[in-house]
Amino acid sequence: MKEIILCKYGEIILKGANRSRFESILLREVRRRASHIGKFDVRAAQSTLYITPLSDFEDMDEMFEQAKHVFGFVGVSRAAVAEKSMEDICRVAREYLPPYLAGAKRFRAEAKRSDKKFPLKSPEIGAEIGGVILSMRPDLKVDLDHPDVTVRVEIRDTAAYIHAGQDRGAGGVPLGSSGRGLLLLSGGIDSPVAGYMMARRGLALDALYFESIPYTSDRAREKVASLARIMTEYCGPIRMHVISLTKIQEAIRDNCEEDYFTLLLRRFMMRLSCRMAERCGASALITGESLGQVASQTMAALTVTEAAADRLIFRPCIGMDKEEIVRTARHIGTFETSILPYEDCCTVFTPRHPKTQPVLEKVIAQEEKLDYDTLLEEAWESRFSMVVSQFEG
């Protein structure tokens, strides 16, 4: 008995004349993942992507999990392959379904006949399969509204497919189909969620981490690299760039009013981020800011910060509360790492009374106390990069 994985498209079905471009990106991403697992044939037809193992020894469990993390699919199923005859469909169902029916009390059987030349209609196919299931498990009850298991037969162009349920896919649109963004990745809860949310809308990601050695540690950097690596389960390989802000922070501390410290620092971060975005081909910055969450995320403070940027800034968490952000962080697996107690640069020299309603002209007046261009260049020269991937080692 042959088993494959069926991956059902989401909104790319609606892309019209551009659909082929989205589909080719999707195929490339699934093939990239499959190449690290084993030998699989990956092809697309009828708004579905088919993943077929090329031997009996391929890791179908891992490939199935990988498929569920690919943006662009709304549903992913493991399915048995049968010839397009009711005799063979029933035979395969008897062999394939028992493990999926174990422990169930109620079931539903249904069918979809894409090949209209097949002699039976969908309701008739579903009734036939329901009879097969009841012959194996007469204790089961048919329940169309609240089944424990839904068995589905799909009659397609080249074969029939039988599966017992569909796992939810990652949704969204294929990774990279919307361009590239630079994620400002800290060690907190919010920024990995922001990166995930924009990757789900088709942005390939680079990441930028700001450190402040010796005020922050190598462990803090390792924590952020670990967060990036977890994100790659959804977002693919990520180039992570690191820039030191130590001299900038010390200069602000020594020359400017304390209340402006965070705002001044974030404006430096914006300028350095835009420069890095230009270098790595990112058309937008991505931050984890949520309106009103902290002093630097009031509307006035965000306006002052954004004035230092020369490109679009995506803030997908801007209207979310902390509970929603934490829920998403748990879903993508970053939460437990995010709460590890290693400091980041934003916690260094934190002012006692930060400005929450700053005026841009007054912030610029504070900047004029600094050798701004020299500080920017020294920070830029400290940069280095690494690539993180889920398949390392």
Asked if residue 205 and residue 117 are part of one domain, the reply reads no
257 domain-assigned: yes
* 189 and 105 in a common domain: no
CA distance 225 to 192: 11
Rounded Cα gap, residues 224 and 320, in angstroms: 22
Q: Is there a domain that residue 173 lies in?
A: no
What is the spatial distance between Cα 186 and Cα 324, in angstroms, rounded to a whole number?
18
Out of 138, 168, 198, a domain closes at: 168
Together in a domain, 108 and 184:
no
Task: Report if residue 28 sits inside a domain.
Answer: yes
Assigned domain for 393 exists: no
What's the Cα-to-Cα distance from 147 to each of 142, 271, 379, rounded to whole Å? Answer: 8, 56, 60
Q: Which residues contact 170 (CB under 8 A, 6 or more apart)?
A: 68, 69, 70, 71, 72, 73, 200, 234
Residues 206 and 328 in one domain: yes
- In a shared domain, residues 209 and 324: yes
3-state secondary structure of 266: helix
Give the end-to-end CA distance of the chain in Å, rounded to a whole number: 33
Taking alpha carbons only, the member of 105, 106, 42, 38 closest to residue 70 is 42
On whether both 98 and 227 belong to a single domain, the answer is: no
Count of structural domains within the chain: 2
159 phi, psi to nearest 5 deg:
-165, 175
Domain containing 336 equals 179-388
Same structural domain, 309 and 274: yes
- Which of 105, 138, 168 finishes a domain? 168
CATH code assigned at 322: 3.40.50.620
**233 & 285 share domain:** yes
User: In whole angstroms, what separates CA 75 from the centre of its chain?
Assistant: 15
Query: What pTM does this model have?
Result: 0.93
8 and 131 both lie in a single domain = yes
The pLDDT tens digits along the chain (393 residues) read: 899 999 999 999 888 888 999 999 999 999 999 999 999 999 999 899 999 999 999 999 999 999 999 999 999 999 999 999 999 999 999 999 999 999 999 999 999 999 999 999 999 999 999 999 999 999 999 999 999 999 999 999 999 999 998 999 999 999 999 999 999 999 999 999 999 999 999 999 999 999 999 998 899 999 999 999 999 999 999 999 999 999 999 999 999 999 999 999 999 999 999 999 999 999 999 999 999 998 889 999 999 999 999 999 999 999 999 999 999 999 999 999 999 987 777 777 788 888 899 999 999 999 999 999 999 999 999 999 999 998 875
Q: How far apart are CA 315 and CA 290, in angstroms?
A: 8
Closest C-alpha to 320, from 351, 290, 347: 290
**Residues β-bridged to residue 73:** 9
Residue 294 lies in a domain: yes
Domain assignment of residue 359, yes or no: yes
Domain stop point among 135, 168, 201: 168
Q: Are residues 164 and 183 in the same domain?
A: no
Q: Assign residue 133 the CATH number of its domain.
A: 3.30.2130.30
Asked if 271 and 335 sit in the same domain, the reply is: yes
Q: Does residue 200 share a domain with residue 156?
A: no
Whether 57 is in a domain gets the answer yes
CB atoms within 10 A of CB 177: 23
Residue 174 lies in a domain: no
